[in-house]
Amino acid sequence: MLKVEHLFKSYKTGRITYEVLKDVCFEVKEGEFAAVMGASGSGKTTMLNCISCFHPYDKGEITLNGICLSRLSEEEIAKVRNEQLGFVFQDFMLLDGLTVFENVCVPKVIRGEDYKLMEKKAGKLLRLFGIEHIADKYPAEISGGQKQRAAVARSLMNDPLAILADEPTGNLDSRSSEAVIQAFIEAKKTLGATTLMVTHDTFSASYCDRVIMMKDGKVHSELTNNGNRKAFLEDLLDVLRKLNGGENDDAA
């Protein structure tokens, strides 16, 4: 489904080049709920931005359902972002002037789709994530958790091949975080959604099928959830402790 092969990415500041991604390889399978974890500066957000086509990359390849993203034109990239990818951001990125319902409709509005299908789909997603009662509210009138669930609903509007979530629980309290993670799980179960989530939050990551650990711009290890969430959480914390040299645990 989503393949990242030998991805390299560097930034230049004056004469100094900082290598952020160094030969990153992994794959996310259809219907999988995967997470990328790592300490600050490990390159996880940069990698997500490369997959989202927000940043160009130096070397390597990213393919989405067999389509090579680097060979697409600006307009084709926009089309992929709109139709084949769904996005959930840490700061929600809901449009202040639109209601929750209208915000959820935005991807289809951009696509210029027939309003009847759009309204039907938006209603269905709002019900799925339990936020239909705030459909007419504006972002300023709802909680962070509700905003993020609206963002998850929005990301699913065009039935994307994959949802890319960048720290979706980063601005939320634990209760709201759980509600948002449940929304991802619900999307996976009901709609078969494929999700790649970048997170610092071990608790949220423990709900995933698989967690890719990154360190210094490389994939350090991968952990698979065998169905026991608590045990998986313990495993994640162990790996993170080792990853951080056992001295601190900022990912917990």
Partner 1 sequence: MTLLNVLNKLKKYNKGNYKQFSLCFSLSVLLVSALTFFMLSPFVQSRLPSGGDSRKMLYMVYAVAVTGCVLFTIYAAGLFLRFKSREVGILMALGTAKGRLSKTIMKEMLLLIGQLSVVSIFIGGMMAFGFGKLYEYLIQSAEGDGFRLSLPGLAGSVVFVLTVSVMIMGMTARFLKRANLIEILTEERRTEPIKKNVDGKYLVTGLILIALGILGGLIVPSIISTIFKRVLGSFTYVFYILVLIGLYKIMVYSVAVHKRGKNPQKYYKNLISFGMLKFQGVSVVRNMLISTLLLAGAFFAIFYSATNYIQGATIAASEDNDMSYRYLGDADRLTMQDVKSIAAAYGVEITDYREVEIARLLGSGVARENYDEEGMLTEEYREKDYYKNFISAGMFSEATGMEVKVEPGTYLYVNRRNNTENYWFLPEDLDMAENTDTGIKKGLIFAGTVEYSSFFYDRGQDGNASYILNDEDFAELKKGLSNKFQMTQVLFNVSDAGDTYAFSKELYARYCKSVPDSMRVMAAYDEYREGVDAGYDYGGLTTLYPKRPEIEVDWKYSPVFVPLLERSFVLTYATLLLIFVFVSVICLVSAGVIGYTRSITVAVKSKRVLMDVKKLGAGQEYLNRILKEQIKKIFVLPTAAATILMFIYYTMILWQNDGVISSNEYPMIGFNIAVCLIVVLYQYTLYCSSFRKSQMLVFGAGTAVMKKRRERDGERI
Cβ contact 86:163 at 8 Å: yes
Among 97, 227, 245, 246, binds partner 1 (CB under 8 A): 97
**Which residue number, 107 or 145, has a Cβ lying nearer to partner 1?**
107
Q: Give the burial class of 101: count Cβ atoms within 10 A of its Cβ; 0-12 exposed, 13-18 middle, 19 or more buried.
A: buried
**Which residue number, 124 or 220, has a Cβ lying nearer to partner 1?**
124
72 binds partner 1 per the rule CB under 8 A: yes
**Which residue number, 38 or 107, has a Cβ lying nearer to partner 1?**
107
User: Residue 69 to residues 44, 196, 197: CA-CA distances in angstroms?
Assistant: 18, 17, 19
Among 19, 83, 186, 216, binds partner 1 (CB under 8 A): 83
Selection from 228, 176, 226, 227 nearest residue 204 by Cα = 176
150-169 binders of partner 1 (CB under 8 A):
154, 158
* Number of residues this chain uses to bind partner 1 (CB under 8 A): 44
53 binds partner 1 per the rule CB under 8 A: yes
Interface mask toward partner 1 for 117-156; x: CB under 8 A: -xx------------------x---------------x--
Amino acid making up residue 16:
I
Selection from 192, 237, 227, 187 nearest residue 207 by Cα = 227
Please state, in angstroms and rounded to a whole number, the distance separating the CA atoms of residues 237 and 245. Answer: 12
User: Residue 147 to residues 56, 99, 192: CA-CA distances in angstroms?
Assistant: 29, 11, 22
**Which residue number, 126 or 213, has a Cβ lying nearer to partner 1?**
126
| Chain positions contacting partner 1, by CB under 8 A | 50, 52-58, 69-70, 72, 74-75, 77-83, 85, 87, 89, 93, 95-98, 102, 105-112, 114-115, 118-119, 138, 154, 158
